[in-house]
Every structure is written in structure tokens, then in C-alpha cells.
Structure 1
Amino acid sequence: MRVDFHTHIIPEQMPDFAKKFGGGRWPTMEKTCSCGANIMVEGKVFREVTDQVWSPEKRIQDMDAEGVDIQVLSPIPVTFSYWADAEAAEEMSKIQNDFIADTVKQYPDRFIGLGTVPLQDVEASIREMDRCIHELGLKGIEIGTNINGENLDAPAFTAFFEAAEKWGVPLFIHPWETLGKERMPRHNFMYTVGMPSETALAAASLINGGVMEKFPDLKVCFAHGGGSFPYILPRLDQGWKVWPHLRKTTKPPSYYAKNFYFDSLNYDPLNLKFLVDRFGYEKVVMGSDYPFLLREIPPGKVVDDTLELTEEQRQAILGGNALAFLNIEIKEEVNR
């Protein structure tokens, strides 16, 4: 079974939140043809997309062609809207969460859903997470790597992580609003350099800020193979060692990093083997970033190409680990 943990989806029709709430940063969909659209932000094209991004039927067609049994659906990060008024952002979250839940309900054998929450308001986020998990039947929550420039270890977010651990809600952390973005426009470095660096900062913040020590049962998975985090982990350990006055944890970062999950989207068998060697094959889930340009085609190619993996390890990474991370009984899925 192949479970693509990292895919993105958006409703075909999005309300005009700029008109309703004001502010130009709301994403809108501007159709270019029956099978294509532009995601517009502040009157400019943010991303050109096809019907792959909203049509479950088109997705299933691609899944069948590429050998994927199940996609895990998550929102596109540009829709997080953490910058907005919390009430408006909560409404944006609900529209997407309802759409994802309806898509899963329509095709329960092919899709699993993750929701989104307005993390600029932790109370509203906990309320919407409760609705996502306990009413809509979504299996986790996708959040960004920072909230309006605040790292994830900021005290304001403690109650959110506490609730996620209490309810056993898996969190998928995806980069957005990358650090140094003013230096990234040329060469699309935001996607190739900024996002991996941003992900590393988020992971390090959760560890060094004491979040993972405080909530040891918190389930967290990082996009894009954890970005640069796996490779700078020894440097984080060294920093912890030489600056004891800065420590907020009783053990070095590598101790807490063992609890993290990572998707497999690092394109190269050498990188995937490094990830497996450092964290264990049980902590890696296959993810492709469907349907965007930087996605892996076919999903799981890097797993197939990593010859050092045993068949047991390969099957776990391709599907079993994702289902386990999402608290889904593997036996139920296999018997469908």
C-alpha cells in the first residue's frame, strides 16, 4: 500500500474575503479555463494550478496512474492567513476543513484529511482543532513553521500543543513565510533554500524551547524531509553543550529529535538513507508534495531507489508509517 502523506488541496471556489473582511493578502481563485486557475494574492499570480488541486476525480486518476492508494490531503500554506483578524481566519479555516472533510467522505477509501487552524488565536485554534478531529473526522492538523514571525516555542502557543498532545492529534508542520524571504526572490530560492532553512528553525525551536520535553507524546511530522534540520542536529547538540546558560531542556536536542517524523521528500537516496540512519525507518513517511512543480513523480520514487532498505522498511515508509502516525489501524486499511 502506498500512502502519499504530503499532498495539497484547495476548494475550486473561494469566497472573496478581501471584500468581506478587508485586506489584500487573502488568496482567491481566478479561473483561467475549465481545468486551470491562478491562485491570486494581492492582485498578483501566486501560483498557477490545474484541476489537480481541487478535483478529487482528477487526483484519483493520477493516483491510479502513479500507483498511489491513498492521499493525505492538507491545505496549501498560503491559506493559513495567520496575519488576518482571528475571526476571519477561523472562517477561512472552516471553509477548507469542511471541504477536505467532504472530499474524504465522498471517497473514504482514497483520501485522509488534515485540517488547519487560525494559530494567531490559540483559543480559536483549539476550538477548531476540536471540531476537525471530533466532529469532522479529520486525522490531524497542518500548521506553519512560524506565526507572524513568532517561533513555535513562543509561550502563546503552549496551550495549543497541550491540547494536541491531550487529544493525540498529529501535527504536520509545513514551511511558510520563510526567514530571509527578502533575499530569496531570485532563482525561486524561497522554495529551494528558504523552506528547508525555515523548517530547521521550527524543529529546533520546538526542541530548544522545551516544547518537546514538556509534551513528550506530541506527534509531529516535518515536511520536505525536515529541511536542513537533520544535517544541523549535531551542531545544535554542540550549541547545547557549550552554552549551558541558554539551556531550557535537561537533555541535548538529539534526544528529543528521536520523537519527530519526517516525510521522504528529499529526492536523493543518499539523503533518504541518512534520514533513516539518523532517526529510524519508522519515523519516515512517504510524501510527494502533489500536485506542485517540485513534487516527486512517481510518489515514493526515492524510497524505491534507496536500495539499502529492506522490504519491510520500504513498505513501512511507503504506507504503514503514515497510517501509524495518523492513528489509523493499518489492518483496517489493508482489508478495504
Structure 2
Amino acid sequence: MNKPALTAPTVDVHAHLLLPEVEALVADRPGLAEAKALDARRNGPEALAVSGPMVRERIPLLTDVAARLARMDAQGVDVQLVSPSPSHYHYWSDEATARQVWQTANRVTADHCAKAPERLRGLGLVPLQHPHLAVEALDDALDQGLLGVEISSHAPGTPGVELSDPGLEPFWARAAETGAILFLHPFGCTLDERLDAWYLSNTVGQPTENAVALSHLIFSGVLDRHPGLKIIAAHGGGYLPTHIGRSDHAWRARPDARGCAREPSSYLKDLWFDSLVHDPAVLRHLVATAGADRVLLGSDFPFDMGNEDPLGALRAADLPAAVHDAIAGTNAAALLGLG
């Protein structure tokens, strides 16, 4: 169907930035080699052989503002919400290194966005592996003029840190108090070598991690205790929205699944989801399940698992004009506070 012209800017909430400065500061730190070896095992040699050249050919889009804006123009995107590549999380790092990582990431991301302030908004990083430092890192990001931070589905380790960890309660409270945007974007999957072929580490791993992380937030009552949180889930929330009925059934049938105040499906309307689901039918289902006001345009710019034509993918879902326009930009403009 024909779509009317938008009155709001088109906004892509899922776009990435490479930070060479972060990689330079961790290059000689203990723990990096082990983390890289784990990542290699999880992905497998075939995936690494493809991913290396893919990233290298996209470095201009990931680092150069002029190249980014030119591609946005070609896509019909007015504004990007730019977040660091998840490869920069470095959740293996000790406290001193973690502080350097978030300070550098926040500063470099803010500097990148400041070169085109009308078109670029940014997110920083926090060290989930050190929950007691998360508020400090969030405040640093906000002080830099960023809108919030990007987080993974968990912080690996022994023990790891899930998003339901009580140590993160001050972080959730501060994020709700400040209105910070939290972009939930997994990196890696704890299914490990079971997914080390055919790029299952990404195609299956990412939506699995999204579903697990969101389930921790819902079932643990985080969203009950902090109703003002502004969480955007990448990849359409993964498998959770399409299989949320199973979560509802568990909540009704089992007392051990009743950590939240109401049916899990009701919390989908308290979250936001990007549109990057690679299937028009799934996008229509996401809109029906979460609500048309809870879905935002997302492309995973400029990686190969993203969509080079996010507005085309949105049109393919053949949604009503008002819903199309809401997802293309109106919802994000309201959430991000764009004029």
C-alpha cells in the first residue's frame, strides 16, 4: 500500500560504531586473549573467516561520520541512535580496565555524534560484570550528552551476572530516575560450541539470548519494581514475543514461575522492540503482541546480519499507514525526545 509522508523524522535505533580507541587500551590487558579464544570457539573458524573481511570492508561506515550520513541518506533515514559494537563490552575486564573502557567508549561515541548532532544520538557502555560500578558508568554516559547505554544479555563469568542480579537494582533505579535509554543487545551465546557451525552462534544465539535476558527482567520483577525503565530490545526481542504464550502458561500453572506480578505477556507493552526480525509476518506478529507504539525501526547498521533497506523491510509488512509511520519514526522520536 502507499504510505503517506511522515511528519516525524525516520529514526533507526539499531546502528553501530567501532571504537579503535577502546581496542587499543585493552590490547595488552590480561584476559583479552582468553576472551578472544572463547569467542572463536563459540563462533567457529568458518564464521570468523567470513566476519573478518566483512567488518573490514565496513570500517568507513563504522567510523566515518560523512560515510555514515551518506548511507543514511541513501536509506531514507534521518536520525540514527548509535551504539558501540557489542564487541567492545569487554566484560572480562577488571575494575580499573572497565572504568577506562566505559570512559573511552562514552567519550568517543559522544564525539562521533557531536559531528552531526541533528542526525546522530548516542549510547555508551556500562560494566555489567561489576554491578556496583554501573550507576557511575551510566551517569558518565549521560554527562557526555549520550541518551543512555547499551547492555548485553548478561555478563559471563564465574559466577556470571544475569540481568535479574540484585546487584543491578541501583542501576535500574538510576536508569528509571533519569529516563536513560537502555539498549539490550546480546554478544555471544552460552550455548557455546553447540552453535559453532553455519553461523548458528548468531542466527540462533542472538534471539535466544534476547529471550533469556528479557525473561530474567520480567520473571524476576525488575519491571515491577522499576516501571519507568526505557528498554529497547534488539532483534525484535528474539524468540520471546513469538512464544510468550508458553511463559504465560508457566506463570499460571507453576508457583515457582510466579516471580512477577502479572502474566509475562503484559510486560511486552512496557518494553520497546526494534523491527529487525527479517520476516514480514513476524513483524506483524510483534506489532500485534507488543503494540504498535512499542516497535521501532532498526537495521543493525552496517553489519551483514542487518538490513540495508530498513524502510523497505517495514513496507514489506504491509501495515496500516499509521502503524507504518509510528514504527518508521514517530515512536522513536517520542521515546528519544527528538524535536
Q: In which range does the TM-score fall when normalised by the shorter chain?
A: 0.7 to 0.9
Q: CA RMSD in A?
A: 2.1
SS state of the match for residue 277, structure 2?
coil
1:15–1:181: structure 2 CA closer, same or farther, 3 Å change rule? closer
1:177 to partner: Cα distance? 2.4
Structure 1 unaligned residues grouped into runs of 5+: 29-40
- The answer as to 2:140 corresponding to 1:131 is yes
Residues 83-104 of structure 1 deviation map (CA, whole Å, 9 limit, x = unaligned): 1102202211211111111112
- The answer as to 2:58 corresponding to 1:69 is no
1:3 to 6, 11, 15: 11
SS state of the match for residue 310, structure 2?
coil
What's 1:33 paired with?
none
Structure 2 unaligned residues grouped into runs of 5+: 1-8, 37-47
Deviates more, 1:248-257 or 1:61-70: 248-257
Q: Contact 1:146–1:177 (CA<8 Å) still a contact in 2?
A: no
2:94 to 76, 85, 90: 85
Take 1:210 and 1:106, find their aligned partners in 2: how far apart are those partners? 40
Residues 296-319 of structure 1 deviation map (CA, whole Å, 9 limit, x = unaligned): 121222211121x22221111011
1:209 to partner: Cα distance? 0.8
Take 1:98 and 1:18, find their aligned partners in 2: how far apart are those partners? 16
Residues 151-188 of structure 1 deviation map (CA, whole Å, 9 limit, x = unaligned): 21111211111111111112110011212022111001
Residues 255-292 of structure 1 deviation map (CA, whole Å, 9 limit, x = unaligned): 22220110000122111110111111100000000110
SS state of the match for residue 13, structure 2?
strand
Q: Looking at both structures, which has the greater relative contact order when contacts are Cα pairs under 8 Å and sequence separation is at least 6?
A: 2
| Aligned pairs (5 A) from 1:137-176 | 137-148=145-156, 149-176=160-187
Deviates more, 1:297-306 or 1:285-294: 297-306
Take 1:217 and 1:16, find their aligned partners in 2: how far apart are those partners? 37
SS state of the match for residue 80, structure 2?
strand
1:229 to 233, 240, 249: 240
Q: How many residues align?
A: 313
1:117 to partner: Cα distance? 0.9
Letter of the 1:74 counterpart: S
Letter of the 1:314 counterpart: H
Take 2:94 and 2:52, find their aligned partners in 1: how far apart are those partners? 23
Q: Contact 1:287–1:300 (CA<8 Å) still a contact in 2?
A: no
1:221 to partner: Cα distance? 1.0
1:257 to 259, 268, 274: 268
Take 1:253 and 1:94, find their aligned partners in 2: how far apart are those partners? 36
TM-score (norm 2): 0.87
1:15–1:193: structure 2 CA closer, same or farther, 3 Å change rule? closer
1:25–1:221: structure 2 CA closer, same or farther, 3 Å change rule? farther
1:19–1:315: structure 2 CA closer, same or farther, 3 Å change rule? closer
1:93–1:46: structure 2 CA closer, same or farther, 3 Å change rule? farther
Q: Contact 1:282–1:317 (CA<8 Å) still a contact in 2?
A: yes
Q: Contact 1:272–1:302 (CA<8 Å) still a contact in 2?
A: no
Take 2:203 and 2:23, find their aligned partners in 1: how far apart are those partners? 31
1:184 to 173, 195, 200: 195
Q: Normalized per residue, which structure has more strand? A: 1
1:300 to 301, 311, 320: 311
Letter of the 1:317 counterpart: I
| Aligned pairs (5 A) from 1:3-152 | 3-14=11-22, 16-18=24-26, 20-25=28-33, 45=52, 48-49=55-56, 50=58, 51-133=60-142, 135-148=143-156, 149-152=160-163
SS state of the match for residue 306, structure 2?
coil
TM-score (norm 1): 0.88
1:25 to partner: Cα distance? 4.2
Letter of the 1:142 counterpart: E
SS state of the match for residue 21, structure 1?
coil
What's 1:273 paired with?
284
Q: Normalized per residue, which structure has more helix? A: 2
Residues 7-50 of structure 1 deviation map (CA, whole Å, 9 limit, x = unaligned): 1101345453345533324999xxxxxxxxxxxx9xx9596332
SS state of the match for residue 15, structure 2?
strand
SS state of the match for residue 70, structure 2?
helix
What's 2:229 paired with?
218
- The answer as to 2:318 corresponding to 1:311 is no
Take 1:269 and 1:12, find their aligned partners in 2: how far apart are those partners? 36
